[in-house]
Structure 1
């Protein structure tokens, strides 16, 4: 139940700032302890913690209802101690879940901004091409009826250049940072952490087929990821040691 240990990459100050709800359980007889569990459950969408909040609220009501019999004080005191211990127990899980949730929210926001920017670029690119086209010259009927001189050299027809499609920037899985991998559509921060760990264990991925098999990608996810990733050459870690023994 120590608060000295750091559970996320955001630092101790961030974790202490987001652990303020633990103080609610220190109010005498736990009269507002249930609020701490309702808050944490709602913040990280954890239904079990929210259910604990309602249970503690019900026990608190029973304790006050039976206060005249003398049992209520004992129930309230027991509830107070239990909620304090429980709050410190769920604190590490809450901080980790909150960290992942905020990372996902940031990734989703970045993906939405990128999508809007690409749509705007496509729109204005089409408009610029339409507006920048030179006006077609008008040919008078009289000029059109005049025959061309025989010695006049007709310039060759210049083929219109077809604009290249916008090249999609591919991420090198074997060298990219965790944040770059997480920005790939259909991957996200959680899968990116697993990719980095597997990459460290294996020394890199040999191909997309190996990558998709190890990471257990599904059919629709494979198609989305395959268009956005590439794999640099890595040295094979399993080198065959078999060979002919040389007699000395």
Structure 2
């Protein structure tokens, strides 16, 4: 069995967006957030579905007479959309975390490739410490029998 590369704390921190689903009028925003983080069109489409359910339900609820069947349908769409969105968020959490980890690994690889190209182009090695010969040495203080004499290290 392959051990997880990311810690449980990392997974917990990256899953903060699930809290958005618990906020009744912002539940849909969680799916747009994860869609942007991992560049996933299906997550964005689910965000659109939950947006329509949220605002369509509110419009249906407020546009018709109270206790009418249309108002009840609007309320049902709103509440069921909210509950399903919460459950769906927990279901896609693992996929989101895997996609996020893959994107981060890909980003590091792209950065390493760019670094290697620049190193070969300029004939440098970023991993070798640079000699700071261009920096001046700081003057040192030498104690004597009385007064302190300041001596510069360069002549």
Scaled by the length of structure 1, the TM-score of the pair is 0.44
Contact residue 8 and residue 96 of structure 1 kept, 8 A: no
- Specify the alignment match of 1:206 in structure 2: none
Q: Which stretch shifts more, 7-16 or 18-27? A: 7-16
Give the C-alpha shift of residue 8 in structure 1: 4.0
- Equivalence map 1:41-60=2 (5 Å): 41-60=35-54
| 2:114 counterpart of 1:112 | yes
2-side partners of 1:47 and 1:62: how far apart? Answer: 22
Deviations 1:64-89 (A, max 9, x none): 11114232222211011100110000
Structure 1 segment 52-71 matched on structure 2, within 5 A: 52-68=46-62, 69-71=71-73
The CA deviation string for residues 113-135 of structure 1, in whole angstroms up to 9 with x for no partner, is 1110111118xxxxxxxxxxxxx
Distance 1:93 1:70 in 2: 35
Structure 1 residue 27, shift from structure 2 partner: 1.3
**Match 2:18 to one of 8, 16, 22:** 22
Which protein is bigger by CA-based radius of gyration?
1
Unmatched tracts of structure 2, length 5 or more? 63-70, 125-155
Question: For 1:3-18, what aligned pairs fall within 5 Å after superposition?
Answer: 8-18=4-14
Contact 2:17 2:30 in 1 (8 A): yes
Q: For the residues of structure 1 that align with 2:40 and 2:111, how far apart are their CA atoms?
A: 22
Deviation per CA, 1:153-187: give whole Å up to 9, x if none.
Answer: xxxxxxxxxxxxxxxxxxxxxxxxxxxxxxxxxxx
Kept in 1, the 8 Å contact 2:18–2:30? The answer is yes
- In the other structure, the counterpart of 2:90 is 88
- Residues 41-70 of structure 1 deviation map (CA, whole Å, 9 limit, x = unaligned): 111111011011011111212101111423
Q: Is the 8 A contact 1:22 1:84 kept in 2?
A: yes
Q: CA RMSD in A?
A: 1.5
Alignment partners' CA distance in 1, 2:52 and 2:101: 31
Structure 1: gaps of 5 or more residues: 1-6, 123-248
Cα distance between partner residues in 2 of 1:8 and 1:101: 16
* Count of residues in Structure 1 that have an aligned counterpart in Structure 2: 114
